[in-house]
Structure 1
Amino acid sequence: MANLDQRLSLDGCTVAYNDSGGTGHPVLFLHGAGVDHVMFEEQAEAVSHSARRIIEWDMRAHGLSRPNAIGITADQLVEDAETLISALGLSQPVLVGHSLGGNIAQALVRRKPTGYAAIVVVDATWNTGPLNSMERLLLRLAAPMLALIPARSLPSVMAKASAVTRRARLDLARAFAQVPKREFLAIWQSTVSLVDPAPDYRVPIPLLLLRGDRDRTGNIATAMPAWAKHEGAQEVVIPDAGHVPTQDAPEAVTKALLHFLDSLEPRR
């Protein structure tokens, strides 16, 4: 587990982060809903060893960034990321976001198209993609359905739904257990609210899409291939991995990520 020994005071919360520093191009990791920076631990270490500057953090109400004293909304989470980027003086960072982190990364690029060098989205739905009537219904029902799960069971249920390997499930259950059910439902609702169809929108910077081949979360398995086709972007499907391939199959994800980052070099 990375030592998040640096702190940034935000409205209602002090967030924990680690900035490797140095002169390498910055890469900001944004973890998924209910978990923490540990999900990217192996990728962050590899990227750091490639002479790039890496920033890991626990978002508001997650992991070490607790307690949180204000309401959790999508806008707040996006603004938190913008504040961290500004506070650290990051110039055109590459955004690497999983699930909620991937939705936040998409929102960041949409708000400031020239502010980022590239975006990597791992097992997150397509914010601006089209939704059919069934997908809209399932989005509305997601939080109410989760609310029916007893609080004591929620971490293990979420871990089992998110990963296929025992090692990954154990760590995810640890992370989910740190977030009270009430806050987790608010975080989940924030994820849902970032979905905002806009059929003519295109991501204006290099884009890599990654997903586990056994991910059955929401519409990701169908939305990501459609998104890749729409954008003419690369989609990498990770074998034998669920919703959190960074932990189910870390070596395959790391290889794809480093290859993509290397491909950006001529662009800088």
Structure 2
Amino acid sequence: MTRELTDSRLTNHIAEGVGEILKGVRTSGLLRGLELGDAGDVLAQEWISRVLEQHRPEDGFLSEEATDDMSRLKKDRVWIVDPIDGTKEFSTGRQDWAIHIALVINGVPEHAAVGMPDLGVTFKSSDVRAVTGPMSKKFVVSRNRPPQVAGFIAEKMGYETVGVGSAGAKAMHVLLGDFDGYIHAGGQYEWDQAAPVGVARAAGLHCSRLDGSPITFNNEDTFIPDLVICRPEIKDEVLAAAAEFAEANGGYN
């Protein structure tokens, strides 16, 4: 196993390298729409796979763009990636797409990076700190499927909700202080959450399921029903409002 690069540096280099690949694919202007998104996914996935085969051949692997052979379940170290989180946003020229790279060790994303190439930044668990200061009084939610529970929590707390594309982009906007929390219900997969949760945890933000239980990764079933990432100061209020919604509605959807 090649160990010239630490896990942290490898995580960061992969996220940055994928960003360069995807910027090149898009700025060439030779592909548009679905063809652009498909090409970006395929090229980024192939490059990530080859890098990990060379540098961490014994580790497990889970990606939205690769077949899951379940051998990862026997491994303590698993790379969970999404080469393009927000393929629609990427292929239509929007900026709110991201690259997710996480090394999960015993169910926890210990090393993570969320790249946002259009903003020229990669958020790294190795070097990140959440913005503090005045609250924005805003929650970020899915632009396409804003969950009812988020609207309920926002109303209870006197907040507004704003829709953004990629899950990674939403989480990083909380880290930047643009929003006080990211509330999601309706389901995501491990590759949607592992890297954003890893970076957000390292920055000191609260990350959990809406019932307050911890999020674990490298499960046989990769579906995760819900998520909250928020400033720790409002964690208890957010979770209490979510519990009130769930009791009245039989769940979070």
TM-score, shorter chain, exceeding 0.5: no
**Which has the higher relative contact order, 1 or 2, with Cα contacts under 8 A spaced 6 or more apart?**
1
Report which of the two has the higher share of strand: 2
| TM-score normalised to structure 2 length | 0.29
TM-score under structure 1 length normalisation: 0.27
